[in-house]
Amino acid sequence: MNNKTKKLSRREFVKAAGVGGLSIGLGTAATISSLFTGTGMAAQQRKRPNLLLIVADDMGYSDLGCYGGEINTPVLDNLAKKGVRYTNFYVSPTCSPTRSMLLTGTDTHIAGLGNMGELLAPNQVGKPGYEGVLNKRVVTVASLLRDNGYHTYMAGKWHLGLKPDQIPHARGFERDFSLLVGGGSHFDDAWNINWQIPKCPYTEDGRPVKKLPKDFYSTKHYTDKTIQFIDEGRKDGKPFFAYMAYTAPHGPLHVPNNWLRRYKNRYDEGWDGIREKRFKRMQELGIVEKGVNSADRLWFLPRSSGLAPAVRVALGRKMELYAAMVEYMDDQIGRVFDYLKKIGEYDNTVVIFISDNGAEGNDLRGMMAGRAGTMGFLHAMNNFAENGHNSIGRKGTYAEYGPAWAQVSMTPFRLYKGLLADGGIRSPLIVSGPGVQGAGKLNKEAILHVMDIVPTLLEFADVQHPATYNGREVAPVQGESWVGMLEGGTKSPRGPGDWLGWEIFGNRAIRQGDWKISWHYEPFGIWDWQLFNLTDDPGEQYDLSDAHPEKRKELIALWDEYVKTNGVIIGSRSPFEGAKKALPDSVPEFDNYPPVRGMEAIPYKKLLELMSGKSDK
Ligand SMILES: [Ca+2]
């Protein structure tokens, strides 16, 4: 956003070069030469590529093998070898705001998700940009591509509105199989997390789905549907845009029965050791620089070595399920790639892979279920109550892996989903496909944003973003197209003066170049602005406000501009307003759990002896 100079789109550049000669194009040497090498040819002279946008739900920055994770993800690792990985790609810290920007290219406070619909504050209700659904001030990339000769398909999570004029079918998707809400059971029982809509609503081709098939598992079904849609639409030779919005690995942690033991005992050692190993691999891969530190373990979390072995195994079990969900998704993405290879379309498909927000460290089930006696509590007790060590992962259970493992998934960053430290908003990004130069490389220079994806897809498809759509004015794109960068002309679509902004639940942040300011409710921040240098300190551990007061001031001025440009209304209530009271100031009184002697838990027999006074040791 906020580019000082207007950039020419590929189409404008080709036109300018053709009419007035190369001198008026003022493009880079590489862009000019691409005119002659063929990568920048006008639409009519080249085949428009298929566009495949794959989104994971709540997956962490460092989970994939190609980002340093120990989870087995050969398909995405291979995609990274064929394409380019980016280390500075940003999303919103929660689901629906990211999706609003992903599909419209403009800020979430304009697109209708200024706040999540489920969590609107009283002073935001009824205000423009706070509809809680994708509003009519924006047009989706699906509508524009559909109107310009693309088939448009979606399978997976929508989370941008339930009513007939708000669903994927009404917002540009010719065919869809969609979960309309934020998340729930991954199986055919379809329990929603949210008691207000007890069963998850799904649509297929715009019509409500009455019953899911008995063997339904989210990731598998969305993959089947994507392949089916592409297959049924390919006769006419039109290119496709497919949006695969997986719900993995969003809670509840559910995996097909034959995947339940896939990572058995792989996480018994606990989070600290796994996190250290990830960090080391990330440095070896060049994802993070040698010589920088990762964020400290969050102040309210115990060292994993202080846990009794049986407790470590029980908590590691949750990470086993999470890892299995991620690998299963990777495996299913492989099915789509295999299918595209079989029909000869793989090499003509631009693939973009991202996660929609940071890994989930909040107790979502707790937030939804609330306290005993509430409807949410009854709903959770009734449908997600069986959560023993041997049951989790199966239908009817609700497990999440909690903040300690979320921190592992977000190595080396601080915090996680819902918050504006980079642990909430940094995502992996892999881009591959025709014209993408630099196979296997890492790009660490470009600071990219999820709003960039719409202008990128439109430029690949040679479609202009309009000022009006169906007679109504639509908000302009704020993102920057990556096509010039992908084709090797530039390192980044943004210059040193460009910046990005965020606000949700009253927390705020601005990033410009190496610098970031953020404002968080206590105890996640200090209820005031803090200044960080992300290049030296990606874990946001050192507040440089006192050392660089001028820089802090400059970035606060950008925040004011962000509020003005996007109509931000700080909520009168925030889900984080009580966090200071809810979280302890430090690791709760003991470091060992359960109470241990040395590293041994107290055996039950010993406990009985202690209780009966037969022993005092
Ligand atoms: Ca999400």
pLDDT for position 22: 32
Residue 444 CA to ligand 1 centre (angstroms): 24
Phi, psi of 356 (to 5 degrees): -80, -20
Domain ranges of the chain: 47-566, 589-617
pLDDT for position 617: 65
pLDDT for position 6: 45
From the candidate CATH numbers 3.40.50.300, 3.50.50.60, 3.30.300.340, 3.40.720.10, the one assigned to the domain spanning 47-566:
3.40.720.10
Residue 318 CA to ligand 1 centre (angstroms): 18
The predicted-structure confidence for 410-431, as pLDDT tens digits, reads as follows 999 999 999 999 999 999 999 9
Q: Evaluate whether 116 touches 132 at the Cβ level (below 8 Å).
A: yes
Residue 490 CA to ligand 1 centre (angstroms): 31
| 3-state DSSP helix/strand/coil % of the chain, to nearest 5 | 35, 15, 50
β-pair type (468-469, 472-473)? antiparallel
Q: Evaluate whether 327 touches 262 at the Cβ level (below 8 Å).
A: yes
The rounded distance, in Å, linking the Cα atoms of 538 and 518 is: 13
Q: Which residues of 218-248 are buried (b: 16+ CB within 10 A; e: fewer)?
A: bbbbbbbbbbebbeebeeeeebbbbbbbbbb
Residue 47 CA to ligand 1 centre (angstroms): 34
The rounded distance, in Å, linking the Cα atoms of 116 and 575 is: 11
Residue 97 CA to ligand 1 centre (angstroms): 9
Residue 10 CA to ligand 1 centre (angstroms): 32
Residue 364 CA to ligand 1 centre (angstroms): 12
Kindly give, in sequence order, each residue whose CB lies less than 8 Å from that of residue 450, ignoring residues fewer than 6 positions away.
89, 90, 91, 92, 98, 101, 102, 354, 427, 479
The rounded distance, in Å, linking the Cα atoms of 555 and 544 is: 13
pLDDT for position 397: 93
The number of angstroms, rounded, from the C-alpha of 49 to the middle of its chain's C-alpha atoms is: 24
Per run of 10 residues, the mean pLDDT along the chain (length 617 residues) is 45 41 33 37 67 98 98 98 98 98 98 95 98 98 98 98 97 98 96 92 98 98 98 97 98 97 97 98 97 95 89 95 98 98 98 98 85 85 83 94 98 98 98 97 98 98 98 98 96 97 98 98 97 97 98 98 98 92 78 60 77 81
Catalytic residues: 95, 159
Q: How many CB atoms lie within 10 A of CB 322?
A: 32
The predicted-structure confidence for 552-568, as pLDDT tens digits, reads as follows 999 999 999 999 999 99
Residue 565 CA to ligand 1 centre (angstroms): 26
* Axis crossing angle, helix 74-82 with helix 309-342, rounded to the nearest 10: 50
The rounded distance, in Å, linking the Cα atoms of 327 and 63 is: 10
pLDDT for position 563: 98
Q: Which of 508, 506, 501, 513 is nearest to 530 (CA)?
A: 508
User: What's the predicted TM-score (pTM) here?
Assistant: 0.91
Residue 185 CA to ligand 1 centre (angstroms): 15
Residue 244 CA to ligand 1 centre (angstroms): 14
The number of angstroms, rounded, from the C-alpha of 139 to the middle of its chain's C-alpha atoms is: 21
Q: Evaluate whether 235 touches 207 at the Cβ level (below 8 Å).
A: no
The rounded distance, in Å, linking the Cα atoms of 362 and 519 is: 19
Considering all CA atoms of the chain, what is the largest pairwise distance in Å, rounded to the nearest integer? Answer: 98
Q: Evaluate whether 162 touches 170 at the Cβ level (below 8 Å).
A: no
Q: Which of 325, 417, 293, 441 is nearest to 63 (CA)?
A: 325
CA angle 354–436–428, rounded 5-degree value? 20
3-state secondary structure string across 64-77:
CHHHCCCCCCHHHH
Residue 278 CA to ligand 1 centre (angstroms): 22
Quote the tokens at residue 463.
């479609």
β-pair type (448-449, 151-157)? unpaired
Residue 569 CA to ligand 1 centre (angstroms): 23
Residue 424 CA to ligand 1 centre (angstroms): 10
Q: Please name every residue paired with 449 in a beta bridge, in sequence order, or none if there are none.
A: 90
Q: What's the chain's length in residues? A: 617
Residue 149 CA to ligand 1 centre (angstroms): 30
Which string of DSSP letters, residue by residue, matches 456-513? HHHHHTT-PPPSEETTEE-PPP-S---HHHHTTS-S-SS-TT--EEEEETTEEEEEET
Q: Please name every residue paired with 531 in a beta bridge, in sequence order, or none if there are none.
A: 517
**CB-based neighbours (< 5 A) of ligand 1, an ion:** 57-58, 95, 356-357
Beta-strand ranges (E) seen in 234-363 are 240-245, 349-355
The number of CA neighbours under 13 Å toward the Cβ of 473 is 3
Q: What is the mean pLDDT of the chain?
A: 91
Residue 248 CA to ligand 1 centre (angstroms): 9
The rounded distance, in Å, linking the Cα atoms of 455 and 198 is: 37
The rounded distance, in Å, linking the Cα atoms of 61 and 428 is: 5
The rounded distance, in Å, linking the Cα atoms of 539 and 292 is: 9
**Residue 476 vs residues 101, 465, 522: alpha-carbon distances, Å:** 12, 8, 35
Phi, psi of 192 (to 5 degrees): -85, 155
